[in-house]
Amino acid sequence: MSIDPKQIALPDGLRPESALTKEKVVEKASRKRITGRFLRGPIPLEWLMKASQLSGQALHVAIAIWFLTGVKNTNSVQLSNKLLSEFGVNRYSKRRALRQLTSADLISVEQGRGKSPVVTVLECSDVC
């Protein structure tokens, strides 16, 4: 006489807790990883609020600067025209925005002749 496992198996609603827990763990592990580019924080809200009050595309440039500082993991980054074109900022607007952010004491800029500027984000304790 042989025993068929399907005849003695418990229905789905009557499974023991340990079996349900294992299934939940499997579901969590199979989640898809979100891909793409992100801003890395924390970004001081006072810094962003001060940048948002400036005219033109200064806030666009400020967000691009914060994106680069997160990618490079440093406060000083070289700001290229290529990245800013993705934000809809041309090189003339970039120059005006950097001037505004500098005068608002949010960043400092070192400009070499014929090179992309090196931008340093100033700490919130210095700004606020």
Note the pLDDT tens digit of each residue in 16-37: 665 555 555 555 566 777 788 8
Q: What is the pLDDT of residues 64-98, one digit of tens each?
A: 999 999 999 999 999 999 999 999 999 999 999 99
CATH number of the domain enclosing 54: 1.10.10.10
Residue 30 lies in a domain: no
Q: What is the mean pLDDT of residues 96-105?
A: 96
**For residue 123, what are the domain limits?**
45-127
In a domain, residue 53? The reply is yes
Answer whether residue 126 shows pLDDT above 60.
no
pLDDT score for 91: 93
Is residue 75 a part of any domain in this protein?
Answer: yes
- By C-alpha distance, which of 39, 59, 68 is closest to 100? 59
121 is a domain residue: yes
Q: How many domains does the chain have?
A: 1
CA atoms 12, 17, 18, 20: torsion sign? positive
Whether 11 is covered by a domain: the verdict is no
> Is the pTM of the predicted complex or chain greater than 0.95?
no
